[in-house]
Structure 1
Amino acid sequence: MSSNKGHDIKSICRNFQISGDYISAAPYGSGHINDTFEVIINQGGLKVRYILQRINHNIFKNPAALMENVDRVTTHIQKKLSASGEATRRTLSLIRAADGKSYAKDPAGNFWRTYIFVEHTKSYNIIETIEQAFQAAKAFGDFQKHLVDLPGGRLNETIPDFHNTPKRFEAFEKALAADICSRAKSAEKEIKFAIRKKEMAATLLRLCGEGKIPERITHNDTKLNNVLLDEKTGEAVCVIDLDTVMPGLALYDFGDLVRTSTSPAAEDEKDLSQVQMQMHMFEALARGYLDASGEFLTKTEVEYLPFSGKLITFEIGLRFLTDYLSGDTYFKIHREGHNLDRCRTQFKLVESIEAQEDEMQELIKNI
């Protein structure tokens, strides 16, 4: 019996419409939420690779609804790309389960899915060049563009209120009031910073409520390692990790790109002098994103691109601070005060963005 992480992968593969003979499977990638495996199948003497994933139902409470989203989104994009001859390379392609569903369940109640392996691509955890920033932003802009006309009604919310910054602030206030670990004193500076910024938390949701920016379909995890780049040309090929694709604001995706791609410092860097928003990286992101999305974004959405980076960075910093005050119950930590260090890097990046916001705004106007 072939097994990985306690799972009988060979048996699980029989639940999918995969022809050929099973050869092997091994853990794949650097993801921390789902269990991902590279599966090799012998098809007529050719070794063909697939990606098999167990969906973490502790994080995603309704895997069937999640997979309905993934199925609708990937099918729609494939139809749009069918004439290109690269539909299964330019977007993820699901392999159907034996019963025709987009997923299969094992006897233990785990939910599994299988994708065609996108060959001759690489992913990177850290942006190394301006071109990578441009390509990543363009890929996410293209992804949003392909989905502006998705038929069939609103997608399911796989994690409700994921980017609802006012609700994140309410959670912070509750954690501060409870202070169950008596940590508030050690985070006094960060707490004061968060309270000073409270007013901006509702900005984007207010604009949406006023009809000035529309709800769209967004990816909600726009890191570089969620874009596959061609291993020879470096061109963006395919956006991956679609578990958080759901209704949202386009600015959430761009804002998280700014947060994750413009500072050279690690997310938990203790030397805050290393944390800064690099204008050349912001410009590459803006040019790449608008190259793909400029034709469908509203004037207000474009205007708020610089602000979105500040807001999402603040929101993530607030979540780190909330978790620190609550006893580190959500984000994994590897040292004492780890979440507070993460909070400090995010808040320092917020300050760096604020200091350059006028210049960022001017840059956007001139693209």
Structure 2
Amino acid sequence: GRVWRMYHFIEGTRTFTSPRSSAQATAAARAFGEFQALLADLPSPPLHETIPHFHDTPRRFAALRTSIADDAHRRAANAADEIAFCLAREASAGLLTDLHRRGAIPQRIVHNDAKISNVLFDDAGREAICVVDLDTVMPGLSLYDFGDMVRSMACSAAEDERDLSRVEVSPERFAALAAGYLEATGNLLVPAEREHLVDAARIITLEQGVRFLTDYLDGDRYYQTKRLNHNLDRCRTQLKLVASIERQAATLRRAASA
């Protein structure tokens, strides 16, 4: 085999698959915010784009439309409700990329996989020591990371939860994430970045649902599955979370500005 990277081993640290408390969520969000802030003045040349168009949501929708049209595995009928849900939101899915294209939000160096399992904590689980798993660190938008934090940390249900009654965004957890992230980024963010925190959560969660749905229609080629319709279950969980974010948008915006 080949060694890709070697790092110093950090003694006395551990990881978590989901936040155990709002305080821990705040610490994780603060770590990702500090990560962005530390890289804000990274000198040229720019980092390589390891996965081109990774969070280009309109491109993800284009791929979905191709998979729907091909229907190579005759699964579209079984996912008709999910397809309709996604396509009904396609027009607004390009908000973040549109903001960047218009110059309202800048390109930054971001992590692109901002979940709590990519943060090393001290043994007590209270202090975030550092961010790890740097394979997807590349140019992007700050809101990609915040949106993914909410998607992965503001809901206690598993990503493939089949009992959708358990899938809801927690305003308390959202507020904890926003507090840690905004504290760490300080004056780095421009007003439009701060104004669109809730939109980022909705769009990145929708994008992940679209990716799961596309892979389901394509015959489960990208994401490993452990049961029949596993990717469809994952898609349904993400879409239920989108609906919850939409329903509580006003509450979440107040939480972000508190």
**Which residue does 2:101 correspond to in 1?**
209
**Which residue does 2:243 correspond to in 1?**
351
For the pair 1:220 / 2:143, whether they are aligned, the reply is no
* Aligned counterpart in structure 2 of residue 243 of structure 1, from 135, 144, 148: 135
CA deviations over 1:86-113 (Å, ceiling 9, x no partner): xxxxxxxxxxxxxxxxxxxxxxxx3432
For the pair 1:324 / 2:221, whether they are aligned, the reply is no
Greater Cα radius of gyration, structure 1 or 2: 1
Amino acid at match of 2:62: E
**Which residue does 1:283 correspond to in 2?**
175
For the pair 1:180 / 2:72, whether they are aligned, the reply is yes
Unaligned runs of 5+ in 1: 1-6, 8-109
SS of the residue corresponding to residue 231 of structure 2 reads helix
Separation (CA, whole Å) in 1 of partners of 2:5 and 2:185: 30
Separation (CA, whole Å) in 1 of partners of 2:125 and 2:83: 45
1:51-70 paired onto structure 2 within 5 Å: none
Give yes or no for contact 2:119–2:128 (8 Å, CA) kept in 1: yes
* Aligned counterpart in structure 2 of residue 135 of structure 1, from 6, 27, 36: 27
Question: How many angstroms does 1:338 deviate by?
Answer: 0.3
For the pair 1:159 / 2:51, whether they are aligned, the reply is yes
Q: 1:111 to 1:233 in 2, by over 3 A?
A: closer
Q: 1:233 to 1:260 in 2, by over 3 A?
A: closer
Question: How many angstroms does 1:200 deviate by?
Answer: 1.4
Separation (CA, whole Å) in 2 of partners of 1:306 and 1:189: 24
SS of the residue corresponding to residue 113 of structure 1 reads coil
Give yes or no for contact 2:73–2:219 (8 Å, CA) kept in 1: yes
SS of the residue corresponding to residue 93 of structure 2 reads helix
Separation (CA, whole Å) in 2 of partners of 1:274 and 1:126: 15
For the pair 1:293 / 2:163, whether they are aligned, the reply is no
* Aligned counterpart in structure 2 of residue 232 of structure 1, from 105, 124, 136: 124
Separation (CA, whole Å) in 1 of partners of 2:71 and 2:48: 34
Amino acid at match of 1:145: A
Separation (CA, whole Å) in 2 of partners of 1:294 and 1:364: 14
Separation (CA, whole Å) in 2 of partners of 1:200 and 1:258: 19
Give yes or no for contact 2:154–2:173 (8 Å, CA) kept in 1: yes
Q: 1:361 to 1:114 in 2, by over 3 A?
A: same
SS of the residue corresponding to residue 301 of structure 1 reads helix
Separation (CA, whole Å) in 2 of partners of 1:354 and 1:300: 19
Question: How many angstroms does 1:117 deviate by?
Answer: 0.1
Q: Which has the higher helix share?
A: 2
Amino acid at match of 2:40: V
Unaligned runs of 5+ in 2: none
For the pair 1:189 / 2:81, whether they are aligned, the reply is yes
**Which residue does 2:150 correspond to in 1?**
258
Amino acid at match of 1:322: T
Separation (CA, whole Å) in 2 of partners of 1:233 and 1:253: 21
Bigger relative contact order (CA 8 A; separation at least 6): 2
* Aligned counterpart in structure 2 of residue 342 of structure 1, from 234, 240, 249: 234
Question: How many angstroms does 1:153 deviate by?
Answer: 2.5
Amino acid at match of 1:250: S
SS of the residue corresponding to residue 214 of structure 1 reads coil
Over aligned residue pairs, what C-alpha RMSD do you find? 0.9
Report the identity percentage: 50
The range that moved more, 281-290 or 226-235, is 226-235
CA deviations over 1:33-64 (Å, ceiling 9, x no partner): xxxxxxxxxxxxxxxxxxxxxxxxxxxxxxxx
CA deviations over 1:181-202 (Å, ceiling 9, x no partner): 1101100000000110001111
Amino acid at match of 2:144: Y
**Which residue does 1:30 correspond to in 2?**
none
CA deviations over 1:203-247 (Å, ceiling 9, x no partner): 111110110000000000001010011113621111000010000
* Aligned counterpart in structure 2 of residue 272 of structure 1, from 160, 164, 168: 164
Q: Which has the higher strand share?
A: 1
Give yes or no for contact 2:174–2:255 (8 Å, CA) kept in 1: no
SS of the residue corresponding to residue 116 of structure 1 reads coil
Could you tell me the TM-score, scaled by structure 2's length?
0.98
Separation (CA, whole Å) in 1 of partners of 2:135 and 2:238: 24
